[in-house]
Chain A
Amino acid sequence: MISRYESIIITTLCKLLIPVIQLYGLYVIMHGHSSPGGGFQGGVILGASFILLVISHGLDEVKKRMSEKLNTIFCSFGLLIYAGLGVLALIFGGNYLDYGHLPIPVTIAEARYLGILGIEIGVGITVMAVMISIFLDISSVGEQE
Chain B
Amino acid sequence: MIWQLDLILLLFVVICGIAAISVKDLLSAVILLGLYSFLMCLLWTEMGAVDVAFTEASVGAGIGTVLYIAAVYKTTRRSKD
Instruction: Give the B-binding residues of A (Cβ under 8 A).
Output: 2, 28, 36-38, 40-41, 44-45, 47-48, 51, 55, 131, 134-135, 138-139, 141
Contacts and interface: CB of A to CB of B under 8 A. Distances in A.
Contact of B58 (A2, A48, A139, A141): A48
Contacts of A28: 54
Given A45-B58, A48-B58, A37 B51 contact: yes
Contacts of A139: 70
Contacts of A138: 67, 70-71, 74
Contacts of B71: 138
Contacts of B54: 28, 36-37, 41
B67 A134 contact: yes
What are the 8 closest A-B residue pairs judged by CB atoms, nearest first? A36-B50, A44-B58, A138-B70, A36-B51, A41-B54, A48-B62, A139-B70, A41-B58
Place the interface of chain B in its size category. 10 to 19
Given A38-B51, A41-B59, A44-B62, 6 more contacts: A37-B54, A41-B54, A45-B58, A48-B58, A135-B70, A141-B74
Interface in B30-81: 50-51, 53-55, 58-59, 62-63, 66-67, 70-71, 73-74
Contacts of B63: 44, 47-48, 51, 131
A36 B54 CA distance: 7
A38 B51 CA distance: 9
A141 B70 CA distance: 10
Contacts of B73: 2
A55 B73 CA distance: 13
B55 A40 contact: yes
A132 B55 CA distance: 17
22 contacts: A2-B70, A2-B73, A36-B51, A36-B53, A37-B54, A38-B51, A41-B54, A41-B58, A41-B59, A44-B58, A44-B62, A45-B58, A45-B62, A48-B58, A48-B62, A51-B66, A134-B67, A135-B66, A135-B70, A138-B67, A139-B70, A141-B74
Nearest to B52: A36
A139 B62 CA distance: 16
